[in-house]
Amino acid sequence: MSSDVCVIPGCGAEAVRHLAVVEARRAFEQVPDQGRSAALCKIHYKEWKKATKKDRKLDRMGGSFSSGAKQGGPGRGGPPI
């Protein structure tokens, strides 16, 4: 084995990261349960990071994208002395 390829079936891209199979399977069930490490390509590693991130922040959909929705900050008191 000279170069590793991503273990995700159908991907076949060059692997940039190696994870424990157990870890990889947390995000990708399709990772074959063989060997000790699972190679992931750049894209799938990114996805894995995303999937396993303990980020529970609720992203509010939308936002103040409409024009004129800028909120004015609190007025700064007077001119600098």
Interaction residues for Zn ion, span 10-69 (CB under 5 A): 11, 13, 41, 44
The span from the CA of 61 to the CA of 16, in Å, is 33
Contact 13, 5 (CB under 8 A): yes
Name the minimum Å distance from CB 36 to Zn ion: 19
Return the ∠ at Cα 72 (arms to 68 and 77), rounded to 5°.
Answer: 155
Name the minimum Å distance from CB 26 to Zn ion: 16
Name the minimum Å distance from CB 41 to Zn ion: 3
Q: Judged by CB under 5 A, does residue 6 bind Zn ion?
A: yes
